[in-house]
Amino acid sequence: MASVPVLEIRNVSKHFGVIKALTDVSFSLDRGEIHALCGENGAGKSTLMNIIAGVLQPSEGEILLDGAIVKVTSPAVAQSFGLGLVHQEIALCPDATVAENMFMAATNRRRSPFMNYGRLEREAQAVMNRLAPIDVRGKVSDLSISSQQLVEIAKALTLDCRVLIFDEPTAALTESEAQVLFGIIRDLRAQGISIIYISHRMAEIFSLCDRVTVFRDGRYVSTEKVADVTPEDVVRRMVGREITQLYPAKQAENERSGETILHVSGLGDGARFRGVNFELRKGEILGIGGLIGSGRTEIAEGVCGLRPTIAGEVRLHGQIMQARSYADAVRAGVVYLSEDRKGAGVFLDMSIAQNIAVLDLKTLTGPTGLLNAKAEAALAHDLVKRLGVRMGGIDMPVSSLSGGNQQKVAIAKQLAVNPKVILMDEPTRGIDVGAKSEIHRLLRDLARSGIGIVVISSELPELLGLCDRVLVIREGRVAGEVEGEAMTEEAIMRLASGIGHNNSKASEHAA
Ligand SMILES: Nc1ncnc2c1ncn2[C@@H]1O[C@H](COP(=O)(O)OP(=O)(O)OP(=O)(O)O)[C@@H](O)[C@H]1O
Ligand SMILES: [Mg+2]
């Protein structure tokens, strides 16, 4: 006798007004399995997870637990059924401590007027220690994005779950943090807990998961044992076509002009980085690698006026750029795509069109000072088309977009000002494989058209596949750079970690 699935979704549809996020999808989860859910940006993955977790109500269809129909009318009800969700977007209280955030849900549920604060902290620390050495008494706002992601995960581990959903948990994690998480997920499986795992990274799915279900355009496509399929099969089912070439061709020898667009010399902020020198040449895509926390983001912020610097200078086409604020940098033609999409990338409550136009208000308002709505719409239409944003319309709020599509809007916002230089921090985080190769192609076209592009990425294959040259940052300094044949994962890792350097062609910068 086949055992009854722990969780079953039957013929669920979900509409937001005219948008059909899910159409008649079914899905089942066995006890003690890790089940991957794949699909392009906007395929409906998070929507279904939010329905399971009681955040959203289905328009049609039902949810069964152990074969019995249940109504998951709220997140609290989901919790009482043992259904837990680690959300795709970080949603912590920044001003509360890690421990307070971790036990927020549990304390709500118990409703005890007596809170034993010391015990709460000890319990939180014990759970946190399984993941990372983060002090639970610290404030969330002081943590890096990757640590905040770990707090979200720790929060879910405090709940007593039978079904635990991870919606792109590794998007903001380092490789080693991800490995720790996989160990924990495997332990949970061994305890009989059932896991739904959403990711755009095929390698993770193939090393971690037992079965894989694919959605496309809000519809169910297939469920298979991971052992029976290849990553190419899964991608084909996701996008409905073959994806052959993953990265666009690099800069050709004859395209090299040697002309410098951006020249950073001796830049330092007195704290996180110092003595930073590099040049960005016309037509190239310059990668910046390094461990999370090495100072990559801070350097980019320093270049574009988001962080005060105390030493050095930045030259744009030979002219000194004095960016005392980000607005100064934007005016000069230097824009920055933040890795923190929610915090600094997009305004969730504003429309897609307003978000795209926000940095370009000067040209859009013209001499009268009134916003030209037509121009705003035209700009937005053009960019959403170029980036393939999946949406209901440009007047919809950004909050209505799937995670990956929000990221595309964040990129569109930068492109709207016709920048001379774009600094991008983890630009394709959360972007599906198909859209990712389109964004890479777009970046290559932009570079070819003369825009200087700097890409900070923690994904080594992206640095190697996309960039012409990679600068590696270690402890707030340029540890070295690799180019051409010397550009290998190993060379970058070696420079990033500072272990056994210089037996490749990688050049070490003098301290
Ligand atoms: N509140 C909402 N209002 C309107 N449309 C919505 C809303 N929430 C989701 N959608 C739409 O539903 C579709 C599915 O979105 P969903 O977030 O489930 O995608 P996803 O598969 O999780 O994508 P990603 O990989 O980018 O996270 C998208 O087209 C999205 O714009
Ligand atoms: Mg999603």
Chunked in runs of 10, what are the mean pLDDT values of the chain (511 residues)?
A: 86 92 97 96 95 97 96 94 90 90 68 69 91 92 88 89 94 84 93 95 94 96 97 89 76 84 96 96 94 90 94 95 90 88 74 85 60 79 88 90 88 89 90 86 91 93 94 95 92 85 45 37
- Which parts of 131-257 are beta strand (E)? 163-167, 194-198, 211-216, 219-225
| CA–CA distance, 400 with 352 (Å, rounded to integer) | 9
| Phi-psi label, residue 430: left if phi above 0, alpha if psi -120 to 50, beta otherwise | left
Report pLDDT for 48: 98
Pick from 37, 46, 50 the residue to mutate for probing ligand 1's pocket: most ligand atoms within 8 Å of its CB.
46
| CA–CA distance, 398 with 410 (Å, rounded to integer) | 10
- Confirm or reject: Cβ of 14 under 6 Å from ligand 1: no
The enclosing H or E element of 472 equals strand 469-474
Q: How far is the CA of 21 from the centre of ligand 1 (A)?
A: 6
Cβ neighbours, 10 Å, residue 243: 14
Cβ partners under 8 Å of residue 481, min gap 6: 278, 469, 470, 471, 472, 506, 507, 509
Report pLDDT for 507: 47
Strand pairing report for 276-281 and 260-268: antiparallel
Report pLDDT for 497: 87
Q: How far is the CA of 59 from the centre of ligand 1 (A)?
A: 15
Residue 344 DSSP code? I
Helix axes 175-190, 117-131, angle to 10 degrees: 110
CA of residue 279 relative to chain centroid, distance: 27
Q: Kindly list the strands in the beta sheet with 60-65, ordered across the sheet, starting from the edge strand earlier in the chain.
A: 19-29, 7-16, 60-65, 68-70
Amino acid identity, position 150: L
Q: Which ligand is nearest to the CA of 39?
A: 1
Cβ partners under 8 Å of residue 37, min gap 6: 27, 45, 48, 49, 196, 197, 198, 212, 213, 215
Report pLDDT for 174: 79
Nearest residue by C-alpha to atom 3 in ligand 1: 400
Report pLDDT for 437: 84
SS3 370: coil
- Confirm or reject: Cβ of 23 under 6 Å from ligand 1: no
Topology classification of domain 7-239: Rossmann fold (3.40.50)
pTM of the model: 0.81
Report pLDDT for 198: 96
Report pLDDT for 303: 96
Same topology, domains 7-239 and 258-333+422-511? Answer is yes
The domain ranges of the chain are 7-239, 258-333+422-511, 342-418
The enclosing H or E element of 36 equals strand 34-38
SS3 428: coil
Q: Which ligand is nearest to the CA of 15?
A: 1
Cβ neighbours, 10 Å, residue 38: 27
Pick from 168, 346, 401 the residue to mutate for probing ligand 1's pocket: most ligand atoms within 8 Å of its CB.
401
Helix axes 145-157, 117-131, angle to 10 degrees: 110
Q: Are the C-beta atoms of 480 and 507 separated by less than 8 Å?
A: yes
Report pLDDT for 173: 84
Nearest residue by C-alpha to atom 8 in ligand 1: 400
Cβ neighbours, 10 Å, residue 353: 22
Pull the structure tokens for residue 109. Answer: 């549920």
Max Cα–Cα distance, the chain, nearest Å:
76
Cβ neighbours, 10 Å, residue 349: 10
Pull the structure tokens for residue 471. Answer: 């600068």
| CA–CA distance, 151 with 163 (Å, rounded to integer) | 19
Q: Are the C-beta atoms of 103 and 124 separated by less than 8 Å?
A: yes
Report pLDDT for 505: 43
**Under CATH, domain 258-333+422-511 is a member of which superfamily?**
P-loop containing nucleotide triphosphate hydrolases (3.40.50.300)
Nearest of 168, 231, 165, 181 to residue 33 by alpha carbon: 165
Report pLDDT for 439: 87
- Confirm or reject: Cβ of 434 under 6 Å from ligand 1: no
- Confirm or reject: Cβ of 390 under 6 Å from ligand 1: yes
Question: Which residue has 């998070």 as its token pair?
Answer: 46
Report pLDDT for 499: 77
Nearest of 349, 309, 355, 352 to residue 329 by alpha carbon: 309
- Confirm or reject: Cβ of 43 under 6 Å from ligand 1: yes
